[in-house]
Amino acid sequence: MPDAPLPVRDGLNPTRLRLPADDSWTTVLGYLLARFPDDTRRLREKVAAGEVVDGAGVPVTPASPYRAHSFVYLYRDPPIETRVPFEIEVLHRDEDLLVVDKPHFLASTPRGRYVAESALVRLRRDLDLPELTPAHRLDRVTAGVLVFTVRAQARRAYQSLFDQRHVVKEYEAVAGYDPALSLPCTVRSRIVKERGTLQCLEVPGEPNAETRIELLGVHGDRARYRLLPHTGKMHQLRVHLNSLGIPIVGDNFYPTLYDVAPDDYSDPLQLLARSLTFTDPHSGQTRRFVSERRLAAWD
């Protein structure tokens, strides 16, 4: 993907649009007005201010011709969002890395209704780090250790550690307790996410997800578990514990999907990214970062 010709502004990257193969429009502005009919006034203002540019960084004018498959960059006005009432704790910062302890309910990166209220945008704004980029991601409802790269030059090396599974990830969860389960155990299955569905499914076939599950303690009908994922499929830990008949406390996806209001923070998913360990690609030293958060359902 080519670098954006517009800088990060107020913590947000510019939107990148690829003009489709369609001859319905004669100008770029005509296409933009048709695609975003509710933003007509703001789009005209942005074009007039030179804030809409092509792939070479040349400002788009009202007369700029439409060229299929070319790129256009612009800043979309972020939605008005209610602040997620939890703070991000910084665990480590150096010239290459920023490691934080993400709270429950805060998205890692902008997505859907959560744009400004994401860890990435908050940290870019609060710490004045426009090049900050996630090395990996956590689900919005999962808390714990989250790693960002501070400089563009550092991105590839650290992101590759996660892509190539060179990072040891340790999670903790509070879930149901079944004394008949033999633990520790390793769960292997094939997990797929079908378009248009919110839940992930386990299906027959070659396993693509693997998790080691260890019992840390028991209290009544609940237990605390250490989870060591070898792979990183979407919702993997939630799916694997549910498949054992011990769904995670506070999980509104598994086994039954139910709605939770965006501002309902009363029952957080009891899943915590406890630690990350890896060999630093530059120094060769072992680095380990540990969350200081606790799971409320266990306490």
**Parallel/antiparallel/unpaired status of strands 97-102 and 89-93:** antiparallel
Please tell me the distance from the alpha carbon of residue 191 to that of residue 206, in angstroms, as a whole number. Answer: 10
Element (H, E) at 33: helix 28-35
Q: Are 6 and 46 in contact (CB under 8 A)?
A: no
Burial of 154 (0-12, 13-18, 19+ CB in 10 A): buried
Q: Is 139 a catalytic residue?
A: yes
In the numeric block, which tokens belong to residue 149? 């790269």
Assigned token pair, 33: 């007005």
What count of other Cβ atoms lies within 10 Å of the Cβ of residue 166? 11
CA distance 59 to 47: 8
Task: Return the structure tokens found at 59.
Answer: 């400002």
* CA distances, 49 to each of 29, 42, 45, 60 (Å): 13, 10, 6, 10
Q: Which residue in 96, 101, 139, 251 is the catalytic one?
A: 139
CA distance 225 to 241: 10
Interhelix angle for 40-48 vs 28-35, to 10°?
Answer: 150
Please count the other Cβ atoms lying within 10 Å of the Cβ belonging to residue 283: 9
Q: Which residues are catalytic?
A: 139
